[in-house]
Structure 1
Amino acid sequence: MANWIRIPSSEDQCVSRPDMHGEQKTYQREVGRAGFQGPASQIYHRHAPAGWAVFEGPLRPRAFSMSKLSPGPACPLQARRVLHNDRMELRYWKTENKMHALARNADGDTLIFVHSGGGELFCDYGHLSYRDGDYILLPRGTAWRIEPLESCEFLIVEATADAFKLPDPSTSGQRASIDPMLFTLPSIDDAFISQQDDAFWEIHIKRQGRVSTLTYPFNPLDALGWEGDLCVVKLNWRDLARSCSDGAKVPPAAYCTFVTESFAVSTFIPKIGEGESGVMRVPFYHSNEDADEFIFYHRGEFFARGEIKAGMGTFHPSGFPHGPHPSAYQQKMIKAPVETEEVAVMIDSKMFLNVDESIPDGAEWKAYVKTWEKAKETL
């Protein structure tokens, strides 16, 4: 674990702070370590921290329109890869077809977020219905398949050689840990029993990034019951919203939903009573120095992103400050309603993330880096 030098002060928050009642306008930037779970400082700048004039080189913010990615393939283990490193793979899968083979990830746990559509999921543990906004956590080695009832789009996150856990409230800043009672478990129900047959079934198994095929002369999803504390679970963002709807202001780390040893998955959900006119709201300008950040925008209009719409994803590598777009600053960050509508999934990775360069140009918004360049004249 890293050791940081702690700088004491009279307020135990900062060493030098501007006069907030004077006429000098300042821009707050939070500099934080360990995904804002470690030491942090607030720096008050004369100019907008993201008001750069030119951005050159391979390190840059990037944005993707996931809806522009082509559908398929039939096997979700080979879905379009967007980001990756040695401990994580992030893929996006669009399908409307029933899976005629099972999938099994032997490289790590799989977390699926349902962006759109609904249907039925069958796995080693039974049957689950799914809808938009669901997280489905599949432990490593679980065999599964889906039967969509309509066209579906999924964000698929693999914890390579790792497992997903619930966050520790003592380190995430949460008022209470996620209640496991919110989870829905699969059922050995009539739908599960009726799909069992003696036809030939394939299981596609991913190991070290390569897919092998195992064939059975019967459906391997033939469980009659199970017991234990390892299982597929489902959680919807709406359940999280109902469990923390008091409108209290909370730090970004409080939205953490699942964690691994190298990255965290957080869920930004609609908030009531957090903002008021004339008061700056998070996410303010910030520098998360120990994490690369990816955000997938599920629904609504994210109040810090003027041009980003639902179904898009943004990637902000560590090393430069980022924050609200100039077009969103006045309209949403200061003159903001007290109720918000956005839902987004954020991944903070301690290890550097690589963008998969096989993503077609038509799915990337190349001008995204330029959206901050007019910050000085706009703010």
Structure 2
Amino acid sequence: MVYYVKRGKVPEQRHTYNDRLNIQKEELFGLGAFDGKYSLIYHKYDPAEVEDTSIEYKEKLSAVNLMEHRHLKTSLLGKLDNFYTGRQVLFFNGITSTGIIDTDSTSNDYFRNALCDEVFYVQSGKGSIESPFGTLKYRPGDFIYIPKGTTYRAIIETRSFFFFTISSDHIDIPANYMNRYGQIKEGMPYYTRDIEIPEFHGITEEAGPFNVIVDYGNYYLHLTRNYPVLDAEGYDGYLYPFTINIDKFAPIVGKLHMPPPVHTVFESNTFMIGAFLPRLFDFHERSIPVPYYHNNIDSDELIFYSSGNFMSRKGIGEKSITMHVHGMIHGPQPGVVEQSIGAKKTDEVAIMVESYNWLLPTEKAESIKDEDYQFSWKAKKD
């Protein structure tokens, strides 16, 4: 849970008004049917106002149902025109989808994901996310968290590349990072002060109409409204967009190899998102710095390679994605273990999604895969 925030003009008590001639329209923005995290947003205009609607059906994702380790070269996909409807999904299941966005275009439309929390890792570019909560600026290395139901607009200042994870299973700060008071404990990779929240700007008076694209999974619902979307006079609560930048992280290291859970950034019931960052290696006098071989018995392991030299992999470049599937052993490629002995640190930056439900590759993922990757552990003949 993130911390309590109060911004702008709100009544002294909930569900009351201060000025009978200018009664604010109070919106409960909350999860879990009144039992989860929430914020109260105080609008100037009616937030339910809609003048017109239309439906746009999505192209159904087709899966390549073949279990093999994959290496994808995402730089082959090219630029998109739309941050919202042009997302390039590479892996998915009934709960989660992951992929990339590469765009330099700002849409006039607003967007709301009705079903899923959204997490974007900013590989490059800068811009902002505008919502009733204010303006949330982003820069390279940011994780952008946007809770489901948030109406927002992505402002792209310079061409931006994002790796995204979108899930109907609620995404949150790891439970083991929190004390019983809801505060991030000492010894964690990041702290509450590292979380950046939107700069509240109040009402943006613009002339309508406004188009809002609402994502319902299989289709988009287009809403037309005349009242401004950015009309909040204030809000308070625990549910809102935020960013955390990897520059603020303090990776956990140990005498022996530390497993991936110590690098967790976000978690849900069905997956975790982690960040492998520049750090010192293990300090045992006979340590093997690279990860051990492992069989993903209960998970699929997807890694987005952001920068640096990822020690256990060969032939991986910036913006590469690897998928190591359940039921097949993987680990350091031939010769890497021996070469790693004596290494003191790593400069890698990589983002991992470890899914406990199997992720299926899309046909788009299949079109950019490295055909030889599955055999990169093949022993060389003398």
Extract unaligned runs of 5+ from structure 2.
1-64, 179-185
> 8 Å contact 1:77–1:103 — kept in the other structure?
no
For 2:172, which of 165, 169, 172 is the aligned residue?
Answer: 165
Within a 5 Å distance, the mapping from 1:332-351 to structure 2 comes to 333-336=340-343, 338-351=344-357
1:182 to 194, 201, 224: 194
- Gaps spanning 5+ residues in structure 1: where? 1-56
Change (3 A) 1:327 1:217: farther
Structure 1 pair 199/328, CA: closer, same or farther in 2 (3 Å)?
farther
**Alignment partners' CA distance in 1, 2:82 and 2:229:** 19
Paired amino acid for 1:200 = P
Look up the equivalent residue of 1:115 and give its one-letter code: Q
Of 317, 323, 340, which aligns to 1:309? 317
Note if contact 2:290-2:337 (Cα within 8 Å) is conserved in structure 1: no
- Taking the aligned partners of 1:100 and 1:276, their CA distance within structure 2 comes to 55
Q: Summarize the Cα distance change of 1:377–1:252 in structure 2 as closer, same or farther, 3 Å threshold.
A: farther
Partner of 2:362: 356
Q: Quick check: 1:120–1:146 contact (8 Å CA) kept in 2?
A: yes
Q: TM-score, normalised by structure 1?
A: 0.76
Q: Specify which of 210, 217, 229 is matched with residue 208 of structure 1.
A: 217
1:214-229, aligned counterparts within 5 Å?
214-229=223-238
What is the CA–CA distance in structure 2 between the aligned matches of 1:377 and 1:169, rounded to whole Å? 47
CA deviation after TM superposition for structure 1 residue 246, in Å: 6.7
Q: Deviations over 1:24-49 (max 9, x none)?
A: xxxxxxxxxxxxxxxxxxxxxxxxxx
Q: Which residue of structure 1 lines up, in the alignment, with residue 141 of structure 2?
A: 133
Task: After TM superposition, give the deviation of residue 341 of structure 1 in Å.
Answer: 0.7
Instruction: Tell me the secondary structure at the aligned position of residue 359 of structure 1.
Output: helix
Whether 1:259 aligns to 2:279 is no
Cα distance in structure 1, aligned partners of 2:271 and 2:157? 32
Question: Residues 301 and 310 of structure 1 are in contact (CA less than 8 Å); yes or no, is this contact kept in structure 2?
Answer: no
Give the deviation of 1:58 after TM superposition: 2.8
CA RMSD after TM alignment = 2.5
Q: How does 1:283-294 map to 2 (within 5 A)?
A: 283-294=291-302
Distance verdict in 2 for CA 1:256–1:220, change over 3 Å? same
Structure 1 letter corresponding to 2:267:
V
Q: Give 1:175 shift.
A: 4.6
Deviation at 1:284, TM superposition (A): 1.6
Q: Is the 8 A contact 2:118 2:148 kept in 1?
A: yes
Identity of aligned residues (%): 26
How far apart are the structure 1 equivalents of 2:82 and 2:297?
38
CA contact (8 A) 1:262 1:349 kept: yes
1:196 CA drift (Å): 4.2
Matched position secondary structure for 1:235: strand
**1-side partners of 2:175 and 2:190: how far apart?**
9
Please give the TM-score of this superposition, normalised by the length of structure 2.
0.75
Distance in 2 between residues matched to 1:170 and 1:104, nearest whole Å: 29
More helix by share: 1
Aligned-partner SS, 1:157: strand
Q: Does 1:115 align with 2:123?
A: yes
Q: Does 1:197 align with 2:202?
A: no
Partners of 1:208 and 1:148 in 2: how far apart?
Answer: 24
Aligned to 2:377: 372
SS of match in other structure, 1:364: coil
Q: Secondary structure at the match of 2:364?
A: coil
Report Cα offsets for 1:258-308 as digits up to 9, x if no partner: 111111111111112536886312412112211011000111111111211
Query: Structure 1, residues 40-83: CA drift from partner, whole Å, max 9, x if none?
Result: xxxxxxxxxxxxxxxxx932100111121132141424411100
Equivalent of 1:59 in 48, 67, 74: 67
Distance, in Å, in 2 between the alignment partners of 1:302 and 1:275 is 19
